[in-house]
Amino acid sequence: MKNNLQISPVFTIVVFLAAALALVSFWGAWKSRQDTLNDLAREEAELRGDLERLDTWGKWTIDYVKIDKAVNYLSKNRLSPEMSRNLTEQIWQISRSYALDPLLILAVVSQESHGNPNARGRTRSGKASGAMGLMQIKLETAQKMAMHFGLNVETPEDLLKPEVNVTVGTAYLIRLIGKYGSWKEALIAYNLGHSAVDRMLEQGIPLPTRYYEHVISKYWELAHLSFL
């Protein structure tokens, strides 16, 4: 028995067009959904970036407040409001640029000069050591560090400028951290001199830790100010 069912060409075309239309509609819906998902992913990434920036700015603001409190605490009114503000901003900028905890810088200031910008170092015999200012930097060391910052340090009196002293003192400390790879050895070298520390390390002599322990104690003292 013959099958007399015949498919009309028109019907075939209609079916083909319907299938094509369905395919195009499906692709359009899929593309629209993908675009929506991509837009949401982009918005999420932008929101995450905004939150990270806000978190960073919040940390910087907290750091600035910490520095300001610590500077005022250490200076004991020996700095004018302008000098105090300039010093706070300088330490804030340094801590941001080099990813340093600003309170560690100020802990060294506390240990070296008790926050006195006019401090002049003395040896045990009472003779002037040549160390000057907040971080007790000697002129020769300061001049080497100052070249990297375009600072003009010509006389010991230049080291009595708080922002100059802290800049070159921190630069020297950063160099020691790079040399020894740790805060502990860097601080000991800051106190004893890197040549003395090098000799002790070469000879296997234990490094004295008293200075380091004092600085860390000062750090926690300053950190406590944040909660007051």
Over residues 84-142, the pLDDT tens digits come to: 999 999 999 999 888 889 999 999 999 999 999 999 988 777 788 889 999 999 999 99
pLDDT at 226 over 90: no
Q: Is residue 126 within 8 Å of residue 51, measured between CB atoms?
A: no
Domain locations in the chain?
60-227
Q: Is residue 220 within 8 Å of residue 103, measured between CB atoms?
A: no
Tell me: the pLDDT tens digits for 148-199?
777 888 998 999 999 999 999 999 999 999 999 999 999 999 999 999 999 9
Whether CATH 1.10.530.10 fits 60-227: yes
Q: Look up tokens 């926050």; give the residue.
A: 115
pLDDT at 54 over 50: no
In degrees, rounded to 5, the angle at the alpha carbon of residue 104 between the alpha carbons of residues 117 and 134 is 10
Q: How confident is the model at residue 9 (pLDDT cuts 50, 70, 90)?
A: confident
Q: Which amino acid is at 9?
A: P
C-alpha–C-alpha distance, residues 218 and 211, integer Å: 11
Q: Is residue 174 within 8 Å of residue 146, measured between CB atoms?
A: no
